[in-house]
Amino acid sequence: MRHFLTLKDYTKEEILEIIDLAFKIKKELKSDTPKTYLNNQTLGMIFEKSSTRTRVSFEVGMYQLGGSALFLSSNDIQLGRGEPMKDTARVLSRMLDMVMIRTFSQEGLEEFAAHATVPVINGLTDAYHPVQLIADYMTMIEHGKTKDPIIAYVGDGNNIAHSWLMLAAKLGFELRIASPRDYECDGRIIDHAMRLAETSGAHIRFYHDPKLAVKDADVITTDTWISMGQEEEKAKRVKDFKGFMVDSAMMALAKKDAIFLHCLPAYREYEVSEEVLEGPQSVIFDEAENRLHAQKGIMVWLDQKRK
Ligand code: CP
Ligand code: NVA
């Protein structure tokens, strides 16, 4: 049995296998021949933070696959009142077929998974958002951006940046991350990615000047400057991220046919201008739709691994 906690645990072949499966399931849905791969299975979805895409894509994905999904807000379950992760994991494993968790610490998620006897999926932690990257790479494939691509991530060295690091390190592409000083990615995650890059051939570079990072890029991407849980730092962050908005001038430095990705939700005129977000290079809604297909690929893959 496997969990899906970080791309660190996955080989390049496995990541591509999940993506192939997600495309197969997407094609079946679009051609009106959907298959119910997870008949009568139940997914529990624990949310300790807000969500639109992750919640809806997992919930609808599970219904479309023939199963059902339970939304478990931490405000409503005993976890929110201090019941330990390890107890919750063992109880839910007796009743559910799979669990998705959106929580704060990666360690908490890993503790849950260590005690679960059903597959556990990371629906975002402070450290990683791996399900998002499956959808992002699918979107790159659909827009013809996977042949020796240069990806430029402009912004906070957060969970999304860390997930890009892992994806690049595993698949072996060029990734440039530009962040303001003091907002760089976690040093341990960088070290891990750099070690992996030695074998995969990934070129990973870090910048403080976003203009250098986006030069001739095939994909420009960013994320909010204020992640969930950082609301009190908003004023300081907005000041510190000055010059990091992806606007038309920045897009113009990339390749002419570069695409713009954003995991969403987006904050206009902060990390991205309205013009770029709504402009012709932006493929954010293809990316958002792919969340649905990606989650299905991940769930069906995990189900197949336990058989
Ligand atoms: N991108 C993403 O995970 O969106 P939600 O927070 O709406 O789930
Ligand atoms: N970095 C953001 C991603 C939201 C999908 C956050 O953690 O809030």
Count of C-beta atoms within a 10 Å radius of residue 230: 15
Cite the DSSP H helix spans in 69-116: 85-93, 106-115
* Residue 8: alpha-carbon gap to chain centroid: 13
Q: Whose CA is nearest to atom 7 of ligand 2?
A: 227
Round to whole Å and give the CA distance between 278 and 283: 9
**pTM of the entire structure?**
0.98
Q: Which strands form 150-154's sheet, in the order they lie side by side?
A: 203-207, 174-178, 150-154, 219-222, 259-262
Give, for all 307 residues of the chain, the pLDDT tens digit. Answer: 999 999 999 999 999 999 999 999 999 999 999 999 999 999 999 999 999 999 999 999 999 999 999 999 999 999 999 999 999 999 999 999 999 999 999 999 999 999 999 999 999 999 999 999 999 999 999 999 999 999 999 999 999 999 999 999 999 999 999 999 999 999 999 999 999 999 999 999 999 999 999 999 999 999 999 999 999 999 999 999 999 999 999 999 999 999 999 999 999 999 999 999 999 999 999 999 999 999 999 999 999 998 6
Mutate to test the pocket of ligand 1, among 48, 50, 54 (most ligand atoms within 8 A of CB): 54
**How remote is the CA of residue 228 from the centroid of ligand 2, in Å?**
6
Q: What angle do CA 121, 122, 123 make, to 5 degrees?
A: 110
Specify whether 223 is catalytic: yes
**How remote is the CA of residue 28 from the centroid of ligand 2, in Å?**
30
Tokens 């990257």 sit on residue: 133
Identify the CA nearest to 159 among candidates 99, 230, 254: 230
- Return the structure tokens found at 202: 């990934």
Q: Which atom of ligand 1 is nearest to the CA of 129?
A: 3
Q: Which strands form 68-73's sheet, in the order they lie side by side?
A: 68-73, 42-47, 98-102, 120-122
Count of C-beta atoms within a 10 Å radius of residue 203: 13
Among all bound ligands, the one having the nearest atom to the CA of 136 is 1
Measured CA to CA in angstroms, residue 280 lies from 125, 248, 257, 261 at distances of 31, 11, 10, 12
